[in-house]
Structure 1
Amino acid sequence: MKASTEKIFTHPLGIMGAAAGATLLWGSAFPYVKLSYKELGIGKDDVFEQLLFAGYRFTLAALLILAFMKLLGRSIAYQRGSLPRVARIGLFQTLLQYVFFYYGMSASTGVQGSIIAGTTSFFQILLAHFMYAGDRITLRRTTGLIVGFSGVVFVGLGKGEASFQFGVAEVALLAAMFFGGLGNVLSKKESEHLDILYMTSFQMLIGGVALVAIGAAGAGIAPFSFSAEAAWMLLYLAALSAVGFALWNTVMKYNKVGSISMYLFLIPVFGVILSALLLDEALHVYVWAALALVAAGIVIVNRQPAKAETA
């Protein structure tokens, strides 16, 4: 089973399908978080409500993965000695990333948040450069990153903004992307010792419960009045987190961080396109140019290197 899984997630089509699938799901989170805030009446100053809603999402996501593991007949019992490992991932990949993400999204636009999400690639590749001896930054990867990030810039131009003004919300989003990149790199390291679904579910459970505790301390445990639509959006956000992180952590386990990180440039593109569809925002020709640049960047980063290159 392990050999077949590795074969799927190291095949070019398997890598592309898993990475693109995860980034599509994550890109859809931007409009759905904004829609959820609107439906539940969560404003930019309602910090505890934001964290509580995030806690609901990731606790539910963890429970969905655990239920899936039970359906597969796999053990969900605590594995002795794994707490420090999953807690460390949960601290960065769930708790700190989404403390900053949910605040940033409450005070920024969906498009701006989507664009800033592209910086996760830089953080992830830079961190891998220092944490993995065999995953160094090369000229080829640098070129691919520049081309891909040009696509992120074009997404911004699609809103008629050639430059961005960074306030507290945007700095918070940038911090979220750093912690997310760090969490991704740590999850690769720990996946050498832990099952992917076990690791993903328990790190989300720890981070989700911590978010609930912080949010409930200021807003109470159940301040929301959930309509059917709000409940459906919460379930969708939880499901996309469960599936997205499971796919991403699996493809990260079997491949070099530097090669996979390029796919994160798809998040802002998907985020903007889905925001246009779900939030009635206008699409421009710049978005299609962005897609072409991102695709070109992926090809450059994942092109087989010359024998002289040691990446």
Structure 2
Amino acid sequence: MTPITPANWFRLILLGAMFGAAFMFTKLALEGVGPRLVVASRLGLGAILLLTIAYARGTGLPPVRGKGAGLIWVFALGMGVFTNALPFFLLSWSQQFVASGFAGVCMAVVPLLILPLAHFLVPGDRMNLRRFTGFLIGTCGVAVLIGPSAFAATGTEFELTARIACIAAAFSYAIGAILTRLCPDVDMISLAAAALSIGAALFVPYALMIEGVPDSIPATSLLALLYLGTLATGTAQLLLVQIIRSAGPVFMSLLNYQVPLWSMMLGIVFLGEELPTNIYWALLLILFGLGLSQASALKRLFSGRRRA
């Protein structure tokens, strides 16, 4: 059984807050640049941050020669594609044609996709009825939180294709999580830097080709891009790798239930958005599902505290 420590819980909550705040900062960033350039800026700035940290520590990128070096880079390529470039592209394109909440519901399905993959591919992350039921309840909680508007038809020409793209993005994140866990032993900062650098190398040229370089960027949008790149992408990628490598992809997938809650709460506090009437039922379902799916880990956590 994969050990889940208090540090892992702290990283998970911190990561949820970072990703939740990303929605608010993305709104500000979009006032000055297009959606593809927002993604390109996130990947580029995040890669620069992690490369700087990796080389300042003296580790740099993973080795390109020696035993297992090639395999590590194959996994880094898979992470760069499935965790970064591909889902970012699919979501940035599809959200032009689907109801805004549909992508959020699709991301909540990621834990249900990770469960069977981890069961067969990751030692110690076995699927059982309790875990599956807990994740299913949590997914229902997110659907209640977002509401029926997530499934409303927009009537646009590419709506069906866009919905398929959202589902494909969820599958992509699930595959990326499994690849991160299965990668051979390597320094985690080096691995995160390599994956993000590959994602940036794949997406930045595409974004510049489609949207070009803006003549100017408002200060608010620039500050929002700095947050998105350094914290919501660079630092978040490092935390993501640490969680998956130490606690497993199934535990990490709990992040997908946190993000809508953080996004909504931050929107209420900082953007003056209204508190939805269904949030209490949604919160109850999400917390119950989380507790059910992680009952063993929570029991070990609190019993360890009592002994301490």
Superposition TM-score, scaled by structure 1 size: 0.81
The correspondence of residues 230-245 of structure 1 with structure 2, limited to 5 A, is 230-239=221-230, 240-245=232-237
Q: Give the aligned partner of residue 296 of structure 1.
A: 288
Which moved further from structure 2: 99-108 or 135-144?
A: 99-108
Q: Give the aligned partner of residue 302 of structure 2.
A: none
Contact 2:30 2:38 in 1 (8 A): no
Displacement of 1:162 after TM fit?
A: 8.1
Contact 1:148 1:298 in 2 (8 A): yes
Aligned-pair identity (%): 21
Displacement of 1:152 after TM fit?
A: 0.7
Q: Give the aligned partner of residue 246 of structure 2.
A: 254
Superposition TM-score, scaled by structure 2 size: 0.82
The correspondence of residues 94-173 of structure 1 with structure 2, limited to 5 A, is 94-108=84-98, 110-157=100-147, 161=149, 163-165=151-153, 167=159, 168-173=161-166
Q: Within 2, Cα distance between the matches of 1:180 and 1:224?
A: 34
Residue correspondences, number: 285
> Would the alpha carbon gap of residues 276 and 108 (structure 1) be closer, same or farther in structure 2, given more than 3 Å must change?
farther
1:271-309: CA deviation from partner (whole Å, max 9, x where unpaired): 233344455432223113222221221211111299xxx
Contact 2:99 2:151 in 1 (8 A): no
1:43-77: CA deviation from partner (whole Å, max 9, x where unpaired): xxxxxxx3343122111101112223344x33215
Q: Within 1, Cα distance between the matches of 2:31 and 2:61?
A: 38
Q: Would you say 1:228 and 2:219 are equivalent positions?
A: yes
Q: Would you say 1:265 and 2:249 are equivalent positions?
A: no
Q: Within 1, Cα distance between the matches of 2:209 and 2:150?
A: 41
Residue 23 of structure 1: which of 6, 16, 29 is its match?
A: 16
Which amino acid in structure 2 is aligned with residue 56 of structure 1? S
Q: Give the aligned partner of residue 175 of structure 2.
A: 182
1:235-285: CA deviation from partner (whole Å, max 9, x where unpaired): 111121112221121111122333442342112222233344455432223
Match of 1:254, SS state, is helix
Q: Within 2, Cα distance between the matches of 1:105 and 1:112?
A: 9
Q: Give the aligned partner of residue 65 of structure 1.
A: 50
Where in structure 1 are there 5+ consecutive unaligned residues?
1-8, 43-49, 307-311
Q: Within 1, Cα distance between the matches of 2:194 and 2:44?
A: 9
Q: Give the aligned partner of residue 305 of structure 2.
A: none
> Would the alpha carbon gap of residues 233 and 109 (structure 1) be closer, same or farther in structure 2, given more than 3 Å must change?
farther
Q: Give the aligned partner of residue 56 of structure 1.
A: 41
Q: Give the aligned partner of residue 218 of structure 1.
A: 210
Match of 2:217, SS state, is coil
Which amino acid in structure 1 is aligned with residue 178 of structure 2? V
Q: Within 2, Cα distance between the matches of 1:261 and 1:106?
A: 26
> Would the alpha carbon gap of residues 126 and 77 (structure 1) be closer, same or farther in structure 2, given more than 3 Å must change?
closer
Contact 1:259 1:301 in 2 (8 A): no
